[in-house]
Chain A
Amino acid sequence: MIARRATVFIVDDDPGVCRAMSRLVRGAGYAAREFSSARDFLLAHEPEPPGCVLLDVSMPDLDGLELQQRLLEQGCQRPIVFLTASDDSRNVVRAIKAGAIDYLTKPVEAGVLLAALTEACRVDACGRANWERRNLILGRLALLTPRERQVLEMVLSGFMNKQIAAQLGTVEKTIKVHRSRVMNKLHAGSLLQLVALAQAAGVPVSGTHGSPT
């Protein structure tokens, strides 16, 4: 599978810095988009292209930390690398606590900056892969019949086939058939894989059950 080229969204009110950063990241193989203000970025931003944000802190009007908050409010997961000309350590804690990948100061060495961007894009790609996997599993879960769903949930709760059969008023053989169909539909080769799939999709897995009857 060919990975899509990641984009670095550069937000900085200094045009000289913007241009220089754009040249550096394009030279390193990224696509680059430049914005001279946080508002311009918010107006133009689409969450779909993979990549990260290289964000100046001190900008007039909306500053970098405020932009980070706005993105969080929108549910935008795009990783942020901060780049500041100031020496304000209070901002570092705020930025990192709010989930920034890194917080760098100007002037910044190319190696340091590119390492931070690599990490940010890796986190972005990871998050997207998890999201796609989750959607794939949810799609497969939607194909289960109500009975199969019941059996799945009881298996995930740690019940044995015999107990499930007793609970649902049927025989063990029937439960085994349901269970087999569930495993096939979800592409799970083992109970362990089934648990992993369920967790990836956000289906509750308790593993503990009431006392056997």
Chain B
Amino acid sequence: MKGAIAVMDDSGDTKIAWDSDNPDEVENARASFRRLRDKGYGAFKADKKGEKSETMHDFDPNAEKIIMSPPMRGG
């Protein structure tokens, strides 16, 4: 099963993909997820279009799509 993290940035977004059958890719994605969370990024699981998303605190290798956004700031 393939999954991807879409990290929002100035290019739109950068994808970090993994195959759940590939431990290295899973570990790489997990490490990226943790690094971004430590920086304050929000993480949301969005499996299917239009379905209600949910906040993620830990990496889920079975998630199809994870969206991570930089920390929000008050204006």
- Do chains A and B stick together as partners? no
Residues of B within 8 A of A (CB): none
Residues of A within 8 A of B (CB): none
